[in-house]
Structure 1
Amino acid sequence: MCFFFFSICLAGKNDEKWQKQNGSDPEMSLAVLKDKRNETAHNPRIERGWCCLIIDELYELTIKIQEGLKLVVLGYVVNPEDKEKIEREMDRVFDNTRQKIHEIGKGGIGAEVFDEYQREIDFTKKMKLLEEEGFPCLKKILEKFKSINPLNLITGTSSNPNIPVEKIYTEMKLEGESGPCSVPIEEILNHVPHYDHSQLLLIKGMAGMGKTTLVKKIISDWLSKKDDIKGLSDFAILLYVECRDSIESFKDLLVAFFGDVHQKFQDNEIIDVCLAHKCLLIIDGYDELNDKSSKLFLDVLTLKKSRKISVIVTTRPEFQERFNNQVKSDYTTVSTIRLEGIPKEKREEFVCKYYAVLGSGSSPLQSLDELLKYLRKTKHTMHEVWGLPLNLALVTVLWMIKPEVISNITTEAELYWQFYLLSLSKLMERLAKNLLTAHLPLSVLNARVQQFIEKLCCESFKALQNDEINISKSTINHLSNSFSRLGLPAEELTGAFLEIVTTSQGSFHYSFPHKGMMEFMAALYFPVKLTNQCWDQSVNTATPTKIFEMLLGGSLPENLHKYQNMLIQMISLLHVGDGDQIKVSEEAKIEALELLVKSGCERQRLRAKSLEEYQM
């Protein structure tokens, strides 16, 4: 029977089988059925009334096909019993077919089902819209985030180039939380399974350890479609947000990255369309959360309860407990990786890359070989210090501009101090040539700059107190107005220590290049005040505790943990400054150490040589 049926379907155009009477032409009916199928499948606009008409036509075609097949097939069957059996089976098959068509016509294209089908069509169109118009905008914006700042604000306010991270990225040491188990960067996404709604990845590391450099490496690889990190190219969307930013919802984040295309979506539709793709979100700097970015983080945790979105978060170790408490209350599990900086066997490679990038286009006066000899000489005494990419970057800049100070650097605090002095001296050089300040005596210029430094240090402490790294626009305006009245170029002053950061929303703010730098400036306020002859006359004697209380507007808080890094910097400054402008009493140094102990600092955190000397 099957062979006979196909012989009919393959009949030639002039074959007599085409000449059957109406109702007995199965091949013609099958051809019409095929045309209807094609017409339906390729119709760009499907309306309910048109669907009903198609259903009716299909119903009629099955009747014609049934009648035609009976006429042809049964005509070849001789045995009456076989003929009856075949006819009964054909009737059963076609009755079932027409019953299914009837069910489709009755309920399958009802208003609710048809509306759902229409929504699916519209959703598919929005998916295509996001891919064609939104994705190019996303990649263009991410290009801005794949570069790093070389921290050479010392060169002036208008010369602060960005370096593509791929030019200086060097292998970093990553370890699992459960023990000294190395985690190759190639395997990092295995710790944030996309199928698990409740799990996210936390990367923790000290200030300057390279957390931001690591995530920028991920961004760079995604943009260039590299396969170095397994599974990265599987993500259709990559989103990045710095917690210092002012984005307060996931929708706002999408609006920032997808440009004007978001206007073609209604309500929260862009969220659904975005998360219909495989999406990776990187949240950099949990320890820098502000009021707005805290809302964004909560929004993301809520989304993860029901949506497939892979999330990577970076933070400093001292904020991990707060992080764990927050996400566990939201029933989220955390996979943790420790970032241990650059391995000792890779540090020279990083310095060579950094040196090459900073010296490109010019002829550096200092030999790279001498810098490498210094690093090898201090690799034991400065082992932990040189593990931080930030510190290696600072020492490279110092070597290229002021190499004579390198031999004096034996602690991390001395490194920061020398970089500060270099920034200050470069600022003074520029002011001496500036039209607004060239006429001022050096002593007057120096006094006014010191006033600015003191105010900036105070603002740095306030930012630390408020868990921020940005300096508010109102504060910048106040500082600018104050020093403009003194005849100082405000842009030069702020530009010597702060950078202008453009947010993903297109706005900008002033920020320290790194939180470690901000903590250093906040710490500098203490020795400045301890040696300032204009100390508030209402206070008989300046001490670290009294300065602390004055900054806080009252008594010391019970928990000084959030100020721990600043206190380490401050104690180190009290020591390294003995050979420079800062000279304070031994009593002040001991009192500062007591504040550090009160913050809960463990002995192993006292990395600076000066602190160890205090305890001897």
Structure 2
Amino acid sequence: MASRAQPASSTAQLIKHTVNGFRFQVAVVTKGRAVLAQVVEWLYQGGPCMKTHFLSLGFIETDYERKFNSEQRALLEKKVPFREYDISFLYIILQLMCGLAAPNNPAWTSPKKGQPLEHLLYKIKQKRNNFAHSNDVQQMSDQKLIKEFRKLKCLFSRIIRRAGCRGGIRPDVYRDEVSEIKVDFQDLLQKVREPLQGSDLSLLPQLQQEIKVFKEMLRHKLEDDCRRELHGLYPSQWDVTLAQWLYPDLRLQPSQNFTSLVIKEDSSTLSQAGPRPRDVPHTTLLEVTCDGQLPQVIIISGEGGIGKTTLMKYMLEMWVRDPSQIEGLQDVSPLLYLQLRGSSISSWREMFKNLLCNTFMESGLTMDTFLEIFQAMHVIVLLDGYDEANKKVKKLIADLLAYQGNMRIVISTRPECARELTQMMKSKRLVMNVEIQGIRREDRPHLVESTVAALVQDAALKDAMTDRVLRHLEDLQLQKDELDMPLAIVLLVVRETEAPDEGPENIHDELTALMMGKIEERLVLRGIEDANEKIQEYHEFQKEVAPWGVKRLESDRRAEGVEKLKAKCISLNLPHREMLSGFLVSKKS
């Protein structure tokens, strides 16, 4: 008996407008479900086994499991009466198995002409969604409630008439159903100014539970839809260009030549009295903790050509194809990726809408509701190339830092921008800085072999070419403990394919000549006169500036050296981005 006393005390807490809102919700749930159940009974075109009928329509087993969750499948297979289904479940059946327009047909959400039966059914679902997405009961005045009840009565009556006609039901049968709806709503209208009855209040716990279950179902559906849309998008984005400024069309999937990178905590961000920098393998990057907590932001720094973009795109590919390759990746849903170079996106709302346009449009939700549900998901955002960020990108990052949901950010940059980025992040999020240092000597053969395989089609030539590149690398006589830069190895492979008969005596000069030739081709296409002479002059100037920190291992004065090179480009009327990117590979690397 004590458990039944709770509703009475709750009644005292409900103000009049809340009571009205609750009555409206009860009407939508109970009367709306009854109307949709009746329509399904009249229009369902299959036999007693709904699964068999579903598969006969051209769907397959995986479609059945994707369209219906485990609870819904159990109801279908137990042949539970339609009147026990909820509105969302009935709506799915109406879209798939009742001879109505296909789910993606605009007749449901935005008909071009009139209001077909599909659109009227959609209106019930939308009314159900509108209050199911909110934790609070909608507030309604008496006048507003009366108006909404009358609109609801008209909507339900029109649906019954049209469904009856469409299903070949005798007019007297569906007219009786319409009359019953009118009587029900006349009764509801008379109660508007009366206190809430115990029979009404007894539905409150059920309504609250239905809302909770509905929200969870909707979140899982949106997760699935987000994953499906991104899985379709990312294969066109994850390819890596082997040598961006030499062969922009030479691309391959990251997994084809991905090689384990040496990644360590960035010592410059750690206190001198603290522990030594840890090794951070790429396989555990998302699971490494700071002071016992997962960092909300991971900043990956490294020189150009060291493998930052390749790592980011490898994570992207693995999330789609095999998330078990990186610990913690299988728990991410969704994974969002954005190349920052040239991006015009300046807010997280804009980014979500850009990447998940179809999911948002097909959900039928408002943007606010969509993002509210999205905030409960486990999101990781990959941002590649902060060193090339513009003002809009910086606004985006500031907006992401203010995001209230469950989000982690992984962002890559060159070392000269790492400190600025860390200061921006650190005051708002727990940050971990890591640095990519290169690849180990023992992993060199894998990178050479896989890159050769991507470039050379003739199987007989692959092994011989791989052996030659590895011999050339040994002839360079680098220090035993020195790490390799992936881009330098890729360039050696490219050089071998371009000039296989040349010896190893002056590989650096040959690669430089190769780069100069490619840069000249692009400058000529852009209409720049005397390109060859200008490139030669720039190159001679670059050799003079090299001690100012252009090379990889002398980065303490890099910014000053780069500014000198930019100024030289301006004096020669050359595009500095192409020139710097084409030449910033040193002999040492």
- What TM-score do the two structures reach when normalised by structure 2? 0.53
Residue 109 of structure 1 and its aligned partner are, at CA, apart by 3.2
Residue 229 of structure 2 contacts residue 358 of structure 2 at CA under 8 Å; is this kept in 1? no
Q: How does 1:174-573 map to 2 (within 5 A)?
A: 174-177=263-266, 178=270, 179-191=276-288, 199-244=296-341, 245-263=343-361, 264-303=364-403, 306-329=404-427, 331-360=428-457, 364=461, 367-380=465-478, 387-403=484-500, 407-409=504-506, 414=509, 417-423=512-518, 427=521, 450-451=529-530, 526-527=538-539, 562=559, 564-565=561-562
Q: How does 1:100-139 map to 2 (within 5 A)?
A: 106=201, 109=204, 120=212, 123-124=215-216, 126-139=218-231
Residue 348 of structure 2 contacts residue 399 of structure 2 at CA under 8 Å; is this kept in 1? yes
Of 251, 269, 277, 1:162 maps to: 251
CA distance in 1, matches of 2:499, 2:528: 21
Residue 251 of structure 1 contacts residue 268 of structure 1 at CA under 8 Å; is this kept in 2? no
Q: How does 1:20-59 map to 2 (within 5 A)?
A: 42-44=85-87
CA offsets, 1:252-297, max 9 Å, x none?
Answer: 2222222322123312333222232222111111211112211211
CA distance in 2, matches of 1:289, 1:127: 33
Residue 226 of structure 2 contacts residue 334 of structure 2 at CA under 8 Å; is this kept in 1? no
Structure 1: gaps of 5 or more residues = 1-36, 50-100, 432-444, 458-520, 531-542, 545-558, 574-581, 583-604, 611-616
SS at match of 2:438: coil
RMSD between aligned residues:
4.7
Aligned residue type for 1:162: R
SS at match of 2:335: strand
CA distance in 2, matches of 1:447, 1:321: 36
Give the number of equivalent residue pairs. 371
Structure 2: gaps of 5 or more residues = 1-79, 89-127, 132-136, 138-144, 146-195, 271-275, 546-555, 573-583
Aligned residue type for 1:286: Y
- What TM-score do the two structures reach when normalised by structure 1? 0.51
Aligned to 2:234: 142
Highest Rg: 1 or 2? 1
Residue 204 of structure 1 contacts residue 316 of structure 1 at CA under 8 Å; is this kept in 2? yes
SS at match of 1:150: strand
Residue 295 of structure 2 contacts residue 432 of structure 2 at CA under 8 Å; is this kept in 1? no
Aligned residue type for 1:239: L
CA distance in 2, matches of 1:447, 1:317: 31
CA offsets, 1:367-424, max 9 Å, x none?
Answer: 332221110111416985x72111111111011112466635465xx47623313425
CA gap 1:261/1:382 in 2 versus in 1, 3 angstroms: same
CA gap 1:319/1:140 in 2 versus in 1, 3 angstroms: same
CA distance in 2, matches of 1:253, 1:210: 25
Residue 202 of structure 1 contacts residue 337 of structure 1 at CA under 8 Å; is this kept in 2? yes
CA distance in 1, matches of 2:503, 2:563: 24
CA distance in 2, matches of 1:129, 1:221: 22
CA offsets, 1:531-574, max 9 Å, x none?
Answer: xxxxxxxxxxxx99xxxxxxxxxxxxxx9864545658999x9x
Residue 196 of structure 1 and its aligned partner are, at CA, apart by 6.1
Aligned residue type for 2:373: V
Residue 280 of structure 2 contacts residue 288 of structure 2 at CA under 8 Å; is this kept in 1? no
Residue 174 of structure 1 contacts residue 184 of structure 1 at CA under 8 Å; is this kept in 2? yes
CA offsets, 1:564-605, max 9 Å, x none?
Answer: 45658999x9xxxxxxxx9xxxxxxxxxxxxxxxxxxxxxx9
Residue 608 of structure 1 and its aligned partner are, at CA, apart by 5.3
CA gap 1:298/1:192 in 2 versus in 1, 3 angstroms: farther
CA gap 1:336/1:609 in 2 versus in 1, 3 angstroms: closer
Aligned to 1:9: none
CA gap 1:132/1:218 in 2 versus in 1, 3 angstroms: closer
Residue 377 of structure 2 contacts residue 406 of structure 2 at CA under 8 Å; is this kept in 1? no
